[in-house]
Chain A
Amino acid sequence: MRSDAAAQNALVAAARDGDVAAFERLFHAHHVRIYNLMVFMVGDRTDAEDLTQATFVRAWERLGRLRSAEAFTVWLHQLARNIARDHLRSRRTEQQRTSDNWEQGGAIEKADLSADGQPEAAVAKHETSQTIHAAVRSLPEHQREAILLHHFQDLPVEAVAEIMGVRPGTVLSRLARGREALRRKLGPLVEPGA
């Protein structure tokens, strides 16, 4: 949407000039997606919350280095990806945790479950989401990242390629391999007539 893009560009320009209120609106527009990227990259929801916050603090510090407001979304995802990778590198040097913190807080908030007033349908949807999340988590890193950025973050292939530092053809290939793997893992959920 062009008007959405123009509005975001205006917010980025204002935030770059030190407007915290504008930056807060950018935060609320993007933090859930950045949080999901973190969760699926680091596999720990508490760490993902901390890393999401760290991403926005770093974005605030470095916003002055961003020339083009149009590049904000891709730039923010690149920052988040780098922070997640740094975290994973430092964590590998520590003692490996015996279990991750994936289920803490539940995959979907309770408020979401009752939002449409149909608890059974909501529970079924919740279970489906958990199944999909688990399947995505089990993918190899490159496929998981491509799937996350393209399907969960709604980013076009070209933007995913820019974030991952690869050619669009490579992204398509990773998406295809990931799609095959997920189709096998999700089995009955994606059979025709399911």
Chain B
Amino acid sequence: MRCDEARDNLAESAVGGLDEPTRSALQAHLEACADCRKEHGALLATGRLLDTTELLRPSRDLWPDVAAALRGRKRVRAPWWQLEWIPHPRWAIAGATAAAAAAAIALALFLPHPAHAPQIATATDEDAALFARWNAGAALEGGFADADAFAVLLQETAAAHEEAGNS
């Protein structure tokens, strides 16, 4: 590593922001270069100075005013979905979506299905009987059997025979 490259990386090194290969290369350069080592030392010293700088203090006790302001102050009780605690909201949303999808699949799989499809009502008027007869005839000719149409046809045929017998 040359000095100009090293200088570009000194501050990142001082804050612990270098990846391992760059850190190792910089370390090797610092062992050989006194100027860069001195500059690196100054950056580290800056960090130590910041860490040990005394904090400012308020000019007065701030608590009494805060305590007075708290009296009778309305507090927010949020419902669970508004809690300010989810550290990674994107994960939470992804989790909720996955849970909702799993619940939908479970409902589809385990909810009881209707035992039978709704029955077709037997035709009771003349038009329906005509349609059934036509449909039964077409089914016989085309080889397609409609069970309901057949049932209507047989029912009506039986009724017609009964009427003929009665008369």
Residue positions of A touching B, CB distance < 8 A: 18, 20, 23-24, 27-28, 31-33, 35-36, 39, 45, 48-49, 52-53, 56-57, 60-68, 71, 75, 104-105, 107-109, 112, 125, 128-129, 132-133, 136, 147, 151-152, 157, 162, 169, 172-173, 175-177, 179-180, 182-183, 186, 189-192, 194
Contact = CB atoms under 8 A, between A and B. Distances in A.
Given A151-B47, A172-B12, 20 more contacts: A23-B70, A32-B57, A36-B55, A49-B58, A49-B59, A57-B70, A62-B76, A64-B75, A64-B78, A65-B76, A68-B85, A71-B87, A128-B53, A129-B54, A133-B56, A157-B16, A162-B87, A172-B16, A176-B14, A189-B45
Contacts of A71: 85, 87
Contact of A173 (B17, B41, B42, B67): B17
Given A57-B66, A183-B43, A65 B78 contact: yes
Contacts of A179: 11, 14-15, 43, 46-47
A105 B62 CA distance: 15
Contact of B15 (A67, A176, A189, A191): A176
Contacts of A152: 50, 53, 55
A25 B12 CA distance: 38
B56 A45 contact: yes
Contact of B76 (A49, A64, A151, A162): A64
B74 interface: yes
Given A49-B62, A61-B74, A63-B75, A190 B15 contact: no
Contacts of B84: 62, 65-67, 75
A186 B73 CA distance: 46
Interface residues of B, number: 43
A170 to B, nearest CB: 10
